[in-house]
Every structure is written in structure tokens, then in C-alpha cells.
Structure 1
Amino acid sequence: MSDLSTLPTAISCLEQGDVILYPTEAVYGLGCDPDNQQAVEKLLAIKQRPVEKGLILIADNYGQLLKYVDDAKLPMDKRADIFSSWPGAITWVMPAAKNTPKWLTGQFDTIAVRVTNHPSVKRLCQQLGKPLVSTSANLTGQPTVTSIDQAKQQFEDKVGCYIDEPLGGNTQPSTIKDAMTGKVFRG
């Protein structure tokens, strides 16, 4: 476990398959490299979350998400709603690309994705060159941790790096919407 204020340390943790704790728009998140199955499995074990539920990917820009999203299936009439909401705290459930791993999509043929406006996460994704897995920093069914000290008490050395930077100021986790229908899953 390391305290860090430097981006290179966080990137090193991610590249080594570690799980990191970092600030998002409203809550602290647990994240890892979405292409590293062992890292994702480690994150799910820490969170005590079943793989079937699927995960969110958070990115610096939509281009980073194209590997995971079946962009051709996004209806033209829905694109304005999606892209005008980004960057921001709106997560869209989109058709998953054929090769998107089940450790990310779970039991679904969709994937939840967000383009963030949080500066810390943007820097992480820019340096890593890809999105991060993003899930709230809590054990499944428990309240989300609201401080780095609380996170360290709960996760101890299970998390490779703690990024002690401010949250984005939102009071609620991201809204989650279906990109195909506009239905709100979490408001």
C-alpha cells in the first residue's frame, strides 16, 4: 500500500495489475486496467461483487471506449443525447463490442461507460492510454467510503495505491442510462 500524489506511481500500480482507489465526480472509486483479467478479478474480490453484475468503464474521451463499445449499433437519434452529456457524470449502457471480455460485461451484452470531467481521472486515463474500470469504493451493499482514511481502514493493503485528491463535488454517483432507450437505471 502506498500513499501517492504522483501520477507515475498510480500508472505503475495499474500496469502491475494492482487495484487503485481514486476520486471521481462524487465518490471514491476502485479501479484497475480493464484488459487485465487478474486485476479485474482482484477488484471484484476486494469489493465482494459478483462478476455477473458487470462493471463501468470511465475514460478521458469516447475514443478510448471504442474498443469496448459496438459503436455501429448506437442509433443516430441517440448520439446527441449521449455525446452532449459528456464529459460529465452520466454513465451510458451501450451495446458491447463482440470481443469485450465477460469479466467486464458480466451477464450482459452491454457495457456501461462514461467520459469523465474529473481532472485526476482524466490524467490517469490519458497516461494509461485507455479507460479504467470504475466502481464505487465500498463492499457490495455497504455505504461508499467518503475519505481516504476511511478507505484505508476498509481496504488496507488490498488496494495498491490510494490517490488522495479531492472528489469532483457532485452529491450523487453518476446517473446511469440506457443508450438505446434513454431509460434511467440510476438517477
Structure 2
Amino acid sequence: MTDPTSVPLTAFAAVSQGGVIVYPTEAVYGLGCDPDNQQAVERLLAIKQRPVEKGLILIADNYGQLLKYVDDAKIPMDKRTDIFSSWPGAITWVMPAAKSTPRWLTGQFDSIAVRVTSHPTVKRLCQELGKPLVSTSANLSGHDTVTSIAMAKSEFGELAAFYVDEPLGGNTQPSTIKDVMTGKVFRG
């Protein structure tokens, strides 16, 4: 039997064990963790120095991974074309949250921000986990976004359990954030 302490830590193992990871997204490096692990989310928020009231984004390989967190029945049929034609990609949609979605994800809102990514690294991580990841930019609240692993390591050091040193997706701006019900753009 293998001693688990001798097994090299992977991003999957770090997230599965409640750790916070730094990983590439479409435009910037993100901080992520298991959205179902309250302690992991609280650790991520403490690292980022972000208040829980602001809510978080979930990033997934496919829409099916998000159904646990979204109240799909409340999304009008005429809005679905906008959503699904923008995915996979760098559009984050604010959708009605399922009643069971924890406040450590939604913050003060009755909605949840979600995205189906086209980034191959994130898709692979979400496939391995079988669920979405929390996705917030890898920077302290109010600081510049992190655009390299070296910057991330300088900013977070040992606070992150694992650094996924793979390339960013090539976008120059973080994802656009839109409200699915109203079309309001929160970040363009």
C-alpha cells in the first residue's frame, strides 16, 4: 500500500482535500476550490480578503455540472439561446440560484454567477472533479489581477495548496458578466 504522503500533490488532490488552487482561465489566473466544501470556500475568501456577501462565480466543463446550483426552471426559454450560444466561452451568466445553493457561494444574493469554460485546463479539472470549481481572480481584493504563476506565487506563497502552471487562454479581459433575466451587464 502506498503512503499517501509520498504521492505527489495534484490539483485534483488539492481540491479534493479542501485546498485552494491557482489555475489559468481565459484571461487571468484564478483562485479555485470545491464549491461544496464550506471550509475551503471560507479559506479562499480569507486568502483573497473578499467578503462572503459579494458571492462567487462557478466555472464548469458543461451546464450539467451547474444544475445543482442553478434554479433551471426559472430561466425563461427565450433566454436559453443567449446562454447556450455563448458557451463554452468567457461569458458568465448570473442565474437564479437553487434553494439548496449555500450562502457561502451566493453571498447576499438569490442568484449565482456561472460559466461553462472553453479553457482546456479548467475543463480537464472540472471533468476530473465531476463538478464545477469556484472561480475568482487570483489577486487580493482591490489589487491588480495576476497574469503569471510567478506573480501568483509572490502574492499567495504557501496559502495556495497547488499552482497549475499552464498557459492562460489568450483573452485580454476577464469574462463578461451578464444577468440572464434582465440582460444587464455587470462587467463588460
TM-score (norm 2): 0.95
Q: CA deviation at 1:181?
A: 1.1
What is the correspondence of 1:104-183 to structure 2 with a 5 Å cutoff?
A: 104-183=105-184
Q: CA deviation at 1:146?
A: 1.3
CA–CA distance in structure 2, aligned partners of residues 165 and 36 of structure 1: 25
Question: What SS class does the counterpart of residue 49 from structure 1 fall into?
Answer: coil
The amino acid that maps onto 1:29 is G
Does residue 1:95 correspond to 2:103, yes or no? Answer: no
Does residue 1:33 correspond to 2:24, yes or no? Answer: no
Kindly indicate whether the alpha-carbon contact (under 8 Å) linking 2:33 and 2:134 is maintained by their aligned counterparts in 1.
yes
The amino acid that maps onto 2:144 is P
Residue 21 of structure 2: aligned partner: 20
CA–CA distance in structure 1, aligned partners of residues 107 and 98 of structure 2: 13
- The worse-fitting range, judged by mean Cα deviation, of 145-154 and 23-32 is 145-154
CA–CA distance in structure 2, aligned partners of residues 51 and 137 of structure 1: 16
CA–CA distance in structure 2, aligned partners of residues 147 and 12 of structure 1: 22
Question: What SS class does the counterpart of residue 52 from structure 1 fall into?
Answer: helix
Q: CA deviation at 1:103?
A: 0.1
The amino acid that maps onto 1:81 is D
Q: CA deviation at 1:79?
A: 0.4
Q: Following TM superposition, where does structure 1 have runs of at least 4 consecutive aligned residues deviating by more than 6 angstroms?
A: none
Q: Where does structure 1 lack aligned partners over 5 or more consecutive residues?
A: 1-6
> Deviation per CA, 1:97-151, whole angstroms, max 9, x where unpaired?
0000000000000000000000000000000000000000000010011111111
Kindly indicate whether the alpha-carbon contact (under 8 Å) linking 2:79 and 2:181 is maintained by their aligned counterparts in 1.
yes
Question: What SS class does the counterpart of residue 11 from structure 1 fall into?
Answer: helix
Matched-pair identity in %:
82
Q: Where does structure 2 lack aligned partners over 5 or more consecutive residues?
A: 1-7
Residue 4 of structure 2: aligned partner: none
Residue 185 of structure 2: aligned partner: 184
CA–CA distance in structure 1, aligned partners of residues 22 and 78 of structure 2: 36
The amino acid that maps onto 1:113 is V
CA–CA distance in structure 1, aligned partners of residues 58 and 34 of structure 2: 10
The amino acid that maps onto 2:15 is L
Q: CA deviation at 1:176?
A: 0.1
Paired positions, count: 181
Q: CA deviation at 1:90?
A: 0.0
CA–CA distance in structure 1, aligned partners of residues 146 and 76 of structure 2: 37
The amino acid that maps onto 1:44 is L
TM-score (norm 1): 0.96
CA–CA distance in structure 2, aligned partners of residues 143 and 12 of structure 1: 28
The amino acid that maps onto 1:88 is G
Question: What SS class does the counterpart of residue 30 from structure 1 fall into?
Answer: strand
CA–CA distance in structure 1, aligned partners of residues 172 and 34 of structure 2: 26
> Deviation per CA, 1:19-43, whole angstroms, max 9, x where unpaired?
0000000000000000000000000
